[in-house]
């Protein structure tokens, strides 16, 4: 039995696949966030900082701080835009502006980079509650897919 959402049928294997992909992506970011705690740092410079917004008909606006920075490791220059492995998008414009505001263009700051792959870097080495959101969502989707696959009667089209 497939789940019917506004005349769209989603077969349980598709739900399982989506849940597994979201869980894997979130777990990867969580592992990277933990590993970044031990990464070395170099001084970098913020190139630009801004806040972008997205919205849709079905949800409120979402604001994301964007920061681009340069840094150098072993004589080679790199440019990146990852603040941290935790999601930074928020429904609060002021919160996103506050995050972006910490990174004014021209500011010098520590950049933490992966020793074996210096192009991977972050400005914040945090494992916060937000770091767990994506893998948790993936797990919920995956478990929902398992439940629907095992017991299709849990979701009935009416």
For the chain, what are the domain ranges? 1-37+127-158, 40-112
101 to 52, 83, 98, 112, 114: CA distances (angstroms): 13, 12, 5, 19, 25
Instruction: Tell me which residue of 1, 3, 7, 41 sits closest to 19, measured CA to CA.
Output: 3
Percent share of the chain, pLDDT over 90:
44
Lowest-pLDDT range of 65-74, 104-113, 148-157? 148-157
pTM: 0.71
The whole-number pLDDT of residue 58 equals 64
Provide the pLDDT confidence category of residue 88 given band limits of 50, 70 and 90. Answer: confident
- 47, with CB counted inside 10 A (0-12, 13-18, 19+), is middle
């Amino acid at each position: 039995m497939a789940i019917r959402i506004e005349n769209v049928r989603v077969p349980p294997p598709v739900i399982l696949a989506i849940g597994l992909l979201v869980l894997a992506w979130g777990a990867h970011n969580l592992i990277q966030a933990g590993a970044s705690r031990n990464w070395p740092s170099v001084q970098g410079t913020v190139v630009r900082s801004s806040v972008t917004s997205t919205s849709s008909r079905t949800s409120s606006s979402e604001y994301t701080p964007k920061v681009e920075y340069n840094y150098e490791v072993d004589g080679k220059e790199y440019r990146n835009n990852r603040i941290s492995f935790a999601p930074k998008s928020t429904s609060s414009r002021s919160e996103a502006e506050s995050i972006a505001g910490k990174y004014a263009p021209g500011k010098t700051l520590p950049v933490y980079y992966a020793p074996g792959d210096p192009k991977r870097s972050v400005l914040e080495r945090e494992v916060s509650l937000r770091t767990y959101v994506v893998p948790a969502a993936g797990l919920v989707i995956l478990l929902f897919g398992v439940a629907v696959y095992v017991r299709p009667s849990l979701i009935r089209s009416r």
